[in-house]
Amino acid sequence: MDRGERLALALSSFLLVLFLSSAVFAVVHYDVGLPTCITSMEPFDEGEVIEHAEDRYEVHMLAMKWQFDPEEVELPVGATADFYLASDDVMHGFQILGTNVNLMAVPGAVNYARVRFDEPGEYRVVCHEYCGSEHHEMMGWIIVE
């Protein structure tokens, strides 16, 4: 093995360790959760907000041309919400600005993410996947107060 190969091996090993350490740090320190496809739940055909406790909510969010159902969700400060996302027609995006929720609404499937809202505010929800002529109008709100 010549000097260049040893250097390349050392550098790539270092980058691999750096990448894995960063991933572990993000999970442990920032409580980063990976978006998950739920296989045990049938796609639903209407949106719903279910209150399980004062600070625990379940939101069934349905994406469709060109809106979200429900269009607005009101939650108290400190609430943890489990978002289940389905699509009524084509692929849509679902991003809650100011949080780490960023999912795809896939026809025939349910995707999932959990988020806790510690700060009051109006969190805009946007569709980030081009889904037709009114894609730019497709948005919603999470109101936390």
Of 49 and 139, nearer to ligand CUA (C-beta) is 139
Q: How far is the CB of 107 from ligand CUA (least distance, A)?
A: 12
**Which residues pair with residue 24 across a beta bridge?**
none
* Phi–psi pair at 21, nearest 5 degrees: -65, -40
Say whether residue 129 binds ligand CUA (CB under 6 A). yes
- Please answer whether residues 110 and 43 qualify as being in contact, where contact means their C-beta atoms are separated by less than 8 angstroms: yes
Q: From 115, 121, 114, 116, select the one nearest 145 (Cα to Cα).
A: 121
Kindly write out the interface string for residues 2-41 of this chain, putting x where it contacts ligand CUA by CB under 6 A and - elsewhere.
----------------------------------------
Nearer to ligand CUA, 14 or 130 (CB): 130
| Contact code string over 81-120 relative to ligand CUA, x by CB under 6 A | -----------xx---------------------------
Number of residues that bind ligand CUA (CB under 6 A): 9
Q: List the one residue from 44, 109, 114, 135 that touches ligand CUA (CB under 6 A).
A: 135
CB contact at 8 A, 97 and 127: no
Beta strands 72-75 and 139-144 are: parallel
Interface pattern 48-67 for ligand CUA (x via CB under 6 A): ------------------x-
Question: Could you give the 3-state DSSP secondary structure of residue 141?
Answer: strand
| Cα–Cα distance for residue pair 28/140, rounded to 1 Å | 30
